[in-house]
Amino acid sequence: MSTTENPIRIVTAVILDPQQRVLVVRKHGSDTFIQPGGKREPGEDALQTLVRELREELDIGVDVEHAIALGVFENDAVNEPGRRVQGEAFLVQLDDGTPRVQAEIAELAWIPLQPPHGVKLAPLSAQHILPAARALQHRTGQAG
């Protein structure tokens, strides 16, 4: 089986601040920003994965009861050359805490939801996840 037939499956979060900026993170050893999140552990559903990963990576809690599924998207993986990544994305609201760098995260940034984003952004985020979040805001009549 080729690596393109077996994508890395992750769950990702779109978290907006009151200014409609989106939270992105950069892992140690990478120059590319991605959505926070990660791989499921055995027995976890998507939202359980988000809760665990966001606590581990950023020391924040999110309101999963009001999470909105944005879709499942696939593109080239930025941190594993030759691999594809498949991300199940959710729009979630911060429930507690202020995002802070920890675990494998080297840096976080709040970037505009609309391009230009001002940072080197992973194709999965730039081409799929953030456009889906913008489309949702457009459909629901929110600013952005």
Domain boundaries, the chain: 3-140
Cα(94)–Cα(143) distance, integer angstroms: 18
pLDDT at 4: 52
Q: Taking a C-beta distance cutoff of 8 angstroms, is the pair 107, 66 a contact?
A: no
Closest residue by Cα to residue 113 from 82, 134, 85: 134
Q: What is the pLDDT of residues 80-109, one digit of tens each?
A: 889 999 999 999 999 999 999 999 999 999
Straight-line distance from the first to the last Cα atom of the chain, in angstroms, rounded to the nearest whole number: 42
| % of the chain with per-residue pLDDT over 90 | 88
For residue 58 the two structure tokens come to: 């950023």
In angstroms, the CA 59 to CA 1 distance is: 37
User: What distance in Å separates the CA atoms of residue 139 and residue 117, rounded to the nearest whole number?
Assistant: 22
In degrees and rounded to multiples of 5, residue 11 shows phi and psi of -120, 130
According to CATH, the superfamily of the domain at 3-140 is Nucleoside Triphosphate Pyrophosphohydrolase (3.90.79.10)
> With 60 as the cut, is the pLDDT of residue 68 above it?
yes
Q: Please return the burial class of 95, using the count of CB atoms within 10 Å of its CB with bins 0-12, 13-18 and 19+.
A: middle
Which tokens sit at 37? 């999140």
